[in-house]
Structure 1
Amino acid sequence: MPGTALAVGVVACTAALAVGLCSMAGAAAFGQRLAATADAAVLAAADAASGAVDGVPCERAAELAATGDAVVADCRVDGLVATVTVSARFGVLVVSASARAGPPPAAE
Structure 2
Amino acid sequence: MSAGCGRRRRFGASWTGPGSDRGSATAWSLGLIAVLCVVFGVVLALGHAVVIRHRAAGGADLAALAAADHWAEGTAGACARAERVAEASGARLVRCAVVGDVSDVTAASGRGPFTAKVRARAGPGGPGAPGPSPGDTPGAGEP
Range class of TM-score, shorter chain: 0.7 to 0.9
8 Å contact kept, 2:52–2:116: no
2:44 is equivalent to residue 22 of structure 1: yes
8 Å contact kept, 1:84–1:99: yes
Q: Structure 1 residue 73: deviation in Å?
A: 0.8
8 Å contact kept, 1:30–1:90: no
1:34-85 alpha-carbon deviations (Å, 9 max, x no partner): 111111111000000156xxx8111110111111232211101111110100
Question: For residue 74 of structure 1, what is the amino acid of its counterpart?
Answer: R
Match for residue 93 of structure 2 among 72, 86, 108: 72
2:79 is equivalent to residue 58 of structure 1: yes
2:37 is equivalent to residue 32 of structure 1: no
Q: Structure 1 residue 106: deviation in Å?
A: 3.4
Distance 2:51 2:57 in 1: 10
Q: What TM-score, normalized by structure 1, do the two folds share?
A: 0.85
| Greater Cα radius of gyration, structure 1 or 2 | 2
8 Å contact kept, 1:40–1:64: yes
Fraction of identical pairs, as percent: 31
Q: What TM-score, normalized by structure 2, do the two folds share?
A: 0.66
The number of residues matched between the two structures is 104
Task: Tell me which protein shows more strand as a share of its residues.
Answer: 1
Q: Which has the higher contact order (CA 8 A, sep 6+)?
A: 1
In structure 1, stretches of 5+ residues that fail to align are none
In structure 2, stretches of 5+ residues that fail to align are 1-22, 129-143
Task: Tell me which protein shows more helix as a share of its residues.
Answer: 1
Match for residue 101 of structure 1 among 119, 122, 135: 122
